[in-house]
Structure 1
Amino acid sequence: MKWRLFLLALFIVSLALTVGCSNKQEHISIQKREGKIYKFEAYEESIEIEKTIKTKEILKNINWENSKMEKDRPKADYIFYFNDEKNEDKIVVYYVWAISGENILKLTKGKHSKYVQLNKADSEIVLNLIQ
């Protein structure tokens, strides 16, 4: 009787640990420019999964253009990447410039080889995630 109770308790604890560890959490690392330096903010807690999914869809489905960024370009307002992609050896770093007064974002990725200017709706979604 004691063994059955012990095995049942062990099974319940194992099940609880398995369910608790299987929840997908999204983590993002963001650097925000403040003056001449970047302030690093690593989000270790889970962020809203819907914001992340929408942002990832936008970044995946937009038409990136080949870009040759000039060397004297201003520093990006934000730099971010998704930490969950780091484990897959395909991490992509995104650089974001906010165009003041227009609520529009310009982005480059990687080594600034790809460029895009987002529309207002997509800019709002991305900005909502990284701010």
Structure 2
Amino acid sequence: MEVKVGPHVYRIILAKGIVRDEAGDPYCGLTFFDHQTILISGQLKPSKRLSTLWHELVHAFAYELDIAQSDTHDEESMCNLIGLAMSQLDAMTLARLHVYMLQGIDCDAVMMSPKLEQPIPVLQLLSDQKPSRAC
């Protein structure tokens, strides 16, 4: 699934297992700015996946808006950042992200069964592939 973050399009991948950084440390989610990719652990409960996605999207928007990491961000600047991020995500994108995080079904790439009755979750189709940082 893809979503526009500032001037770039980020790929969002619901990973089958735990998401790990290059040191092997586990995370609920990670954002790779150089590759415009966000990985979310599929082992999380659906509601935790969704909150982790929002967390990672705020990181992506902060990066794309060139907001330096600092402890000096006040409440107003963080609210402005989140407001700007959310304003760029239209209702259809929000709905698609919601389905992807809660059900693991990518609305943009869903494949239908031969009888066109049941959508097949993308995670089922890609279960043998490991997520990578390279695009």
TM bin (shorter chain): under 0.3
Instruction: Give me the TM-score of the superposition, normalised by structure 1.
Output: 0.24
Instruction: Give me the TM-score of the superposition, normalised by structure 2.
Output: 0.24
The structure with the largest alpha-carbon Rg is: 1
